[in-house]
Amino acid sequence: MFDTALTANDFLFLAKGAGMTIFVTVIAVFFGTVLGIIFGVIRYQIGPVWAAPITFVLDIFRSIPLLIQLVLAYAFLGTVLRLGLSGLTVACIVLTLYTSAYCAEIVRGGIEAVPLTLRRASRSLGMTWGQDMRNIVMPLATRVALPSWIGLALGVMKDSALVYVVQVTELLKSTQILITRLQEPLLLLMICGAFYFLISFPVARFGGYLEKRWSND
Amino acid sequence: MIEIENVRKSFGALEVLKGIDLTVSKGEVLTVIGGSGSGKSTLLTCINGLEPIQAGKITVDGIEVHAKSTDLNKLRQKIGIVFQQWNAFPHLTVKENVMLAPRKVLKQSKAEAEAMAVKQLTHVGLGDKVDVYPGRLSGGQQQRMAIARALAMSPDYMLFDEVTSALDPQLVGEVLDTLRLLASEGMTMICVTHEMKFAREVSDRVAFFHQGVMAEIAPPAELFGDPKDPNLQQFLAATH
């Protein structure tokens, strides 16, 4: 069963695909989280009625399949607006917005989990809104939100496989290309899966480590 | 001096304070008693501007609390408040809980804030708990920590909002002892409480609130010894 046509070069080709997956994921999760925090705080702060337009837009990103978003964004930005963006740029933009939509919900939930009485206590000590946010709300909300956020990051990593539709050759696409050429789907998919695992596992473990460290009682 | 003039406060259609007039001078210990829903706790949250008022005026050392131009964050440094729920910041150690506001608000150095925290925590009898997380403390200890946290800001006034109500009975004593200690040191205090014995012992004056109105105010001997308001008479009969 180890009789394979897979060469070191092919393996490198897969590794490059994995690199692309990591790149797209890191960009999307980083900027998506920054945007998500901004949207989440705004939504919480101005209340559900005023936040309705933001909520509506975020809901669109959450409810339309990513594949469709990618194709439509690529067509719209490229063909209609003629911005001449590369597939990779479109992929990063769409994935970032997609991530931010989910992240905003996680952030809002985290903030809501911080008891109002704690915030009253900090404000009555003379702390400003910003000081309360930074020193009380953020650390406590982070603890609540972390497991969901890790889940989101891992989910985005796997969803990023869909960016092949805008001509980005990431891990899964690379695997498919090799499968077409070598006709060894089982072996290649196993290697591909192993790559995904190698990327996810440290992230999941890091999350577990943080959770443990933060559970002081 | 805290001056409260004809203060009215509503939550929606419900008027909880119906024109309160009250003056608390420096060094005075005022306790406020009354049934639940009498508006006594609401008054405290109005004094430090956590709640807006609909009419009237509250001034602290001449600064009008609810004026638009008032910097509430600055005013609150003068007015410490401790709530029924002690509201320990669970992600910070006892010492860090106390150090946080002095460092962030008063911009004290770490050493300065730490010295103050240890001093205040020792003062309330928690000198040996400075480095543990609040989750490891009993309710009474957490409440004393909350008192130390407020004291670390060197406030001129302390407001206590039923600070023993959420405690197990055997823990009430240690917190009341802390309040007695503060009173004996000349701190200006307004204590909303259900502890009649405590009110009788430490107060300069006791105010009785009933349905949003201050029905009677007098020195404890007089208020408990010869209550004039019929609602107060009923209240005292029921609590004895």
**pLDDT for A1 beyond 60:** no
Assigned domain for A207 exists? yes
Mean pLDDT of A15-24: 93
Q: Is the Cα torsion angle A73, A75, A76, A77 positive or negative in sign?
A: positive
Nearest to A140 among B76, B91, B133 (CB): B91
pLDDT value of residue A213: 85
Question: Is the Cβ–Cβ distance between B229 and B208 less than 8 Å?
Answer: yes
Nearest to A124 among B76, B89, B100 (CB): B76
Assigned domain for A1 exists? no
Cβ atoms within 10 A of the Cβ of A197, count?
Answer: 10
Please judge whether A216 and B133 are an interchain contact, meaning their C-beta atoms are less than 8 angstroms apart. yes
Assigned domain for A100 exists? yes
**pLDDT for A179 beyond 80:** yes
Among B188, B189, B228, CA closest to B208: B228
Mean pLDDT of A99-111: 94
Assigned domain for A156 exists? yes
Helices (H), A51-137: 52-63, 66-75, 87-112, 116-124, 129-132
Nearest to B136 among A126, A214, A217 (CB): A217
pLDDT value of residue A2: 60
CATH number of B2-239: 3.40.50.300
pLDDT value of residue A168: 87
pLDDT value of residue A85: 82
Best A116, A118, A124 member to test B by mutation, with max B CBs in 10 Å, is A124
Q: Lowest-pLDDT range, A13-17, A58-62, B166-170, B179-183? A: B166-170
Q: Give the CATH number, domain containing residue A80.
A: 1.10.3720.10
Question: Is the Cβ–Cβ distance between B21 and B3 less than 8 Å?
Answer: no
> Per-residue DSSP letters for B165-179?
TTS-HHHHHHHHHHH
How many angstroms away from the CA of B132 is the closest CA of chain A? 9
For residues A205 and A54, give the distance between their C-alpha atoms in angstroms, rounded to a whole number: 33
Structure-token pair, residue A179: 């499968």
Q: How far is CA B210 from CA B17, B20, B54, B235, in A?
A: 10, 11, 19, 9
B147-178 burial by CB neighbour count: b if 16+ within 10 A, else e?
A: bbbbbbbebbbbbbbbbbbebeeebbebbbeb
Residue A135 touches partner B, C-beta closer than 8 Å: yes
Q: What is the dihedral of CA A54, A60, A66, A70, to 10 degrees?
A: -80
pLDDT value of residue B157: 94
pLDDT value of residue A31: 97
Best B70, B100, B165, B190 member to test A by mutation, with max A CBs in 10 Å, is B100
Best B87, B92, B141, B160 member to test A by mutation, with max A CBs in 10 Å, is B87
Cβ atoms within 10 A of the Cβ of B92, count?
Answer: 18
Please judge whether B74 and A126 are an interchain contact, meaning their C-beta atoms are less than 8 angstroms apart. yes
Domain ranges within chain B, ordered by starting residue = 2-239
Structure-token pair, residue A107: 């952030």
- Cβ-Cβ contacts under 8 Å for B209 (sequence gap 6 or more): B32, B33, B34, B38, B39, B40, B43, B215
Nearest to B135 among A120, A135, A217 (CB): A217
Residue A117 touches partner B, C-beta closer than 8 Å: yes
Mean pLDDT of A84-91: 87
Please judge whether A127 and B104 are an interchain contact, meaning their C-beta atoms are less than 8 angstroms apart. yes
Please judge whether B87 and A115 are an interchain contact, meaning their C-beta atoms are less than 8 angstroms apart. yes
Task: Locate the chain B residue with the closest alpha carbon to A120.
Answer: B50
More confident residue, A1 or B181: B181
Task: Locate the chain B residue with the closest alpha carbon to A215.
Answer: B91
Please judge whether A125 and B153 are an interchain contact, meaning their C-beta atoms are less than 8 angstroms apart. yes
Q: How far is CA B170 from CA A143, B82, B167, in A?
A: 33, 20, 8
Q: Read off the amino acid at residue B116.
A: M
Question: Is the Cβ–Cβ distance between A158 and A105 less than 8 Å?
Answer: no
User: Domain range spanning residue A165?
Assistant: 8-214
- Provide the ipTM: 0.84
For residues B44 and B6, give the distance between their C-alpha atoms in angstroms, rounded to a whole number: 15
What domain count does chain A have?
1
Assigned domain for A3 exists? no
Question: Residue A84's pLDDT band (boundaries 50, 70, 90)?
Answer: confident
SS3 content of chain A, % helix, strand, coil (to 5): 85, 0, 15
Question: Residue A211's pLDDT band (boundaries 50, 70, 90)?
Answer: confident
For residues A128 and A106, give the distance between their C-alpha atoms in angstroms, rounded to a whole number: 24
Structure-token pair, residue B94: 């006892």
Please judge whether A117 and B87 are an interchain contact, meaning their C-beta atoms are less than 8 angstroms apart. yes
**pLDDT for A135 beyond 60:** yes
pLDDT value of residue A166: 87
Q: What is the pTM of this model?
A: 0.83
How many angstroms away from the CA of B79 is the closest CA of chain A? 8
Q: Which residues of B touch A120 (CB under 8 A)?
A: 50, 83, 87
Residue A16 touches partner B, C-beta closer than 8 Å: no
pLDDT value of residue A51: 86
The alpha-carbon radius of gyration of chain A (Å, integer) is: 21
pLDDT value of residue A49: 87
Please judge whether A217 and B104 are an interchain contact, meaning their C-beta atoms are less than 8 angstroms apart. no
- The list of chain B residues with pLDDT below 70 reads 240
Assigned domain for A134 exists? yes
Please judge whether A120 and B85 are an interchain contact, meaning their C-beta atoms are less than 8 angstroms apart. no
